[in-house]
Structure 1
Amino acid sequence: MIGCEVLELRSGKFLFRQGDLPDGFYGLNGGRLKATTVREDGREAILAVIEPGNWFGQTSMAAHVPRARDVVALEDSSIFAVKPDAFDALMQNHNLVMAIARLQSMHLNLLYRMIEDATLHSTQARVARRLVLLAYGDLTMASKNRREVTVSQDTLAMMVGVTRQTLALELRAFATQGAIALRYGRIEILSKEILLTFCENL
């Protein structure tokens, strides 16, 4: 693709930071990233884990506004970067505009879901709902769910907005009911049906 570059990002390195001017529309080719916001006191809120196949960064590019959050590599990652001039040229194509609109809608729905979880659901339901979402690849929303969620419990706690100790209690409750099994660095989903019973009208 004309105007598209391949970037290699080492684990722990930032693709961009909150407040940066937009310099690309990105697609993750390999590895994993996280979209995150860090408060002044250092507390982090992980908004999404970005997996291969996802495209992102379109909001700042289309509106020509600074980045609203940080994106950092969770592991060594390979990223397609469509530069601003190329992005503006591609936005003259009706099919691409429709694809960007669908992508924006998907991201907006995820945001609304996070707000709903934070305001209307119990901690237990929030943890269960996020596990179900991660089983479908978070932003990817793949057609088939995976049996393993490969995020650490520390990361999951930050995604849900609870302490590590609170998360551990909820996960043990799920495990006792046979919904999940706790593994080193991952969570195995044994029964999606049982996990859904904790979700409060998913």
Structure 2
Amino acid sequence: MTQDASLHQRRRPPTADELGGIPWLDRLLPSERERAVASIVVGDARAGDYVCRVGRPVTYWFGVVEGLLKMSADNADGLTMTFTGVPPGGWFGEGTAVKREPYRYNIQALRTSVVAGLPMETFHWLLDHSIGFNRFIMNQLNERLAQFISAREIDRMNRPDLRVARSLAALFNPVLYPGVGDVLRITQQEMAYLVGLSRQRVNEALAFLEARGVIRVEYGGLRVLDLAALRSGRFDEPAQPPARGHARGIRGHAAATG
């Protein structure tokens, strides 16, 4: 393929390791899994690539195997509104896929990512035949509703530390994003894109949260120490100043990854 080939043109069969990162496959019966695996494709998305765009017809149900995507849309004033990020293990667009509607949002890669796609024909076949798949989709829709209610609350928050905390909590949702675990590989600039704040504000908010023992900033990522506090927005006073050098570590990773 040429460097200008579209993400769809760059699709390929998944490797065994990539299939191992798809959480819903384990919910299927052997015959259902065999049918699903035979139809799944993956694409190697470059930073800036669009996985789906507003108004385009739905052809796949998508998930992130590696990397980080953002979900956004442009408002009437031409400003971009970011709804959420999609880290590894996250599958999205099930509501659009169920209704076969055109997309109402854009999904774009923030960094080099591996994106998996399940064709609509197989998606609806699994809905018609697989109890395990239906339960997974129901859980997804339920968690997604709670996520977007929380996102509306975040939009109205004036305190950067609360915006960053609640946005981080959304990315550490174990139901929607089981591939994240305790550490999220993300740069300050990527976090700024997702939260809608400047990189400096994000840096200050991360230092605030780290001082209160809620997170720990590591080289190239963030470790959650108190997910309940991130979700509630209730933070204790810092027991000690944050360790110096953590912010430099994540900034260094941002520069290294471009």
Aligned letter for 2:136?
A
Q: What is the DSSP-based 3-state SS (H/G/I as helix, E as strand, rest coil) of the residue aligned with 1:174? A: helix
Alignment of 1:112 onto 2:149: yes
Q: CA separation of 1:185/1:80 partners in 2, compared to 1, >3 Å: closer, same or farther?
A: closer
Q: Is 1:200 the counterpart of 2:234 in the alignment?
A: yes
**Residues 29 and 79, structure 1, Cα contact 8 Å, conserved in 2:** yes
Aligned with residue 80 of structure 1, among 112, 116, 141: 116
- Kindly indicate whether the alpha-carbon contact (under 8 Å) linking 2:154 and 2:167 is maintained by their aligned counterparts in 1: no
Q: Which runs of 5+ in 1 are unaligned?
A: none
Does the 8 Å CA contact 1:46/1:155 hold for their aligned counterparts? no
1:66-103 alpha-carbon deviations (Å, 9 max, x no partner): 11211112233333222122222222124122221111
Question: Hey, which of these two has a bigger chunk of helix by percent?
Answer: 2
Letter in 1 for 2:144: H
Q: Does 1:131 align with 2:168?
A: yes
Aligned residue number for residue 101 of structure 1: 138
The aligned counterpart of 2:41 is 5
Structure 1 pair 183–104 and aligned structure 2 pair: CA distance change class (3 A): same
Q: Following the alignment from structure 2 to structure 1, what is the Cα–Cα distance between the partners of residues 227 and 67? A: 29
Alpha-carbon distance in 2 for matches of 1:80, 1:135: 20
| Local SS of the residue matching 2:128 | coil
Larger-Rg structure: 2
Measure how far apart 1:40 and its partner are: 6.0
Q: 1:44 to 1:182 in 2, by over 3 A?
A: farther
**Structure 2 length-normalised TM:** 0.62
Letter in 2 for 1:7: G
Q: For residue 150 of structure 2, what is the amino acid of its counterpart?
A: R
Structure with the higher strand share, 1 or 2:
1
Matched, 1:37 2:70: no
Query: Contact between 2:161 and 2:208, CA under 8 Å: does it hold in 1?
Result: no
Does the Cα contact within 8 Å between 1:33 and 1:75 map onto a contact in 2? yes
Give the stretch that moved more between structures: 110-119 or 57-66: 110-119
Q: What runs of 5+ residues in structure 2 fail to find an aligned partner?
A: 1-35, 236-258
Partner residue, 1:14 = 50
Equivalent pairs: percent with the same residue?
22
Q: TM-score, normalised by structure 1?
A: 0.76
Please say if residues 89 and 177 of structure 2, whose CA atoms lie closer than 8 Å, have aligned partners that are also in contact: yes
How many residue pairs align between the two structures? 198
- Note the C-alpha offset of 1:39: 4.0
C-alpha displacement of 1:111: 0.7
